[in-house]
Amino acid sequence: MVNKKKIREEFKEIFASGREKKIKEMLEKFPWLLTEVSGELEGKIGNQQQVIAALGVMEDELGGPVPLDEIVFSLRIDFDIRKDEAEVLGILKSSKDLQLVRKDSNGWTLTAEGGKVCDDYLNKNFGKIEI
């Protein structure tokens, strides 16, 4: 019998190291790992898309950079999603590393790529909005 907990731990270490050949070997040997990793990534990506969409909505409404508390407000009011400021800030920082958002002294703004993520999320979840 295979000890899944040990395999998961070993895979996390290998994944963090970025050794592609070893990652592929483990995924071939233990295909169930791919399902687990995909689920985790989808959750993280979904959270990121929600925050980017809220930023986009508020950026349109305010006409410029958006303070953190306004993003949290938009998540709660516009999307019925409750996240605290620390969680949203963490997501924004990781999104900044991916060049999806920018931070300036007045708040957060979307990059062109972040705008595409925002639009895709809104269209996928709320349908096309025609003006």
CATH number at residue 73: 1.10.10.10
Contact 35, 75 (CB under 8 A): no
Q: Count Cβ atoms below 10 Å from residue 16 Cβ, excluding itself.
A: 8
48 shares a domain with 23: no
* Lowest mean pLDDT across 5-14, 51-60, 87-96, 103-112: 5-14
Residues 6+ apart with CB under 8 A from 87: none
Q: How far is 129 from 21, CA to CA, in rounded Å?
A: 44
Give yes or no for residue 124 having a pLDDT over 90. no
Average pLDDT of the residues of the chain: 86
Long-range contacts of 55-58 (CB under 8 A, 24+ apart): 55/92, 55/101, 55/108, 55/109, 55/110, 55/114, 55/118, 56/110, 56/114, 56/115, 56/118, 56/119, 56/122, 57/118, 57/122
Query: What pLDDT, on the 0 to 100 scale, is given for residue 44?
Result: 64
pLDDT in tens, 55-97: 999 999 999 999 999 999 999 999 999 999 999 999 999 889 8
Domain encompassing residue 17: 1-30
Q: Quick one: 116 and 83 in the same domain?
A: yes
- Domain membership of residue 131 (yes or no) is no
What integer pLDDT is reported at residue 127 of this predicted model?
66
* Any domain includes 94: yes
> Considering the domain boundaries, does residue 36 fall inside one?
no
Number of compact structural domains in the chain: 2
pLDDT band at 11 (very low <50, low <70, confident <90, very high): confident
Q: Are residues 112 and 52 in the same domain?
A: yes
pLDDT band at 131; cut points 50, 70, 90: very low
